[in-house]
Amino acid sequence: MERHLSPKTRFRWHTVKFHNLMWISIQYRMQTIKNIQNTIKENLAVMVYFSAPTCNVCHALKPKLLDALKSNFSDFKVESVDISVEEDIAPHFGVFAIPTVLIFLDGKEFLRKSRHMSVDEVIREIKRPYEIMTS
């Protein structure tokens, strides 16, 4: 896998082998510590989701969490961090296992869950404080 960083656009390009047949390039927004900190400051409720391409649990859990957030909360910003690409972000936030979910409410870390968690458990723990903040 090749990695190319475009300094003008702040996007990163990945060239990956697709189905062992051809090479494709994928563009995505480059995450930085500053970007994530700004998102946390500018939004009332933020989930930062740490994962890696080799983590099957991460891939199974993320869509379920996103659906639960969308159906239970009106305004929740989500930032996803691929720790295999953005290697400096996880240690900055004290994350050393995946998947890890950090929930920030009003700019402060409210909840941290790693590895073994259920979607219902995460939603249940943030529902009441979120409702109080938005009422």
DSSP run (H or E) holding 57: helix 56-72
Statement to judge: residues 36 and 11 lie in one domain: no
Statement to judge: residues 23 and 57 lie in one domain: no
Statement to judge: residues 60 and 71 lie in one domain: yes
Statement to judge: residues 106 and 126 lie in one domain: yes
pLDDT, tens digit (0-9, with 9 covering 90-100), for 109-130: 999 999 989 999 999 999 999 9
Domain that holds residue 13: 1-30
| Site of tokens 């996803």 | 80
Statement to judge: residues 41 and 5 lie in one domain: no
pLDDT, tens digit (0-9, with 9 covering 90-100), for 35-82: 999 999 999 999 999 999 999 999 999 999 999 999 999 889 999 999
What residues contact 25, with CB distance under 8 A and at least 6 apart?
Answer: 13, 14, 15
Statement to judge: residues 77 and 21 lie in one domain: no
Total domains present in the chain: 2
Which CATH number fits the domain that encloses residue 117? 3.40.30.10
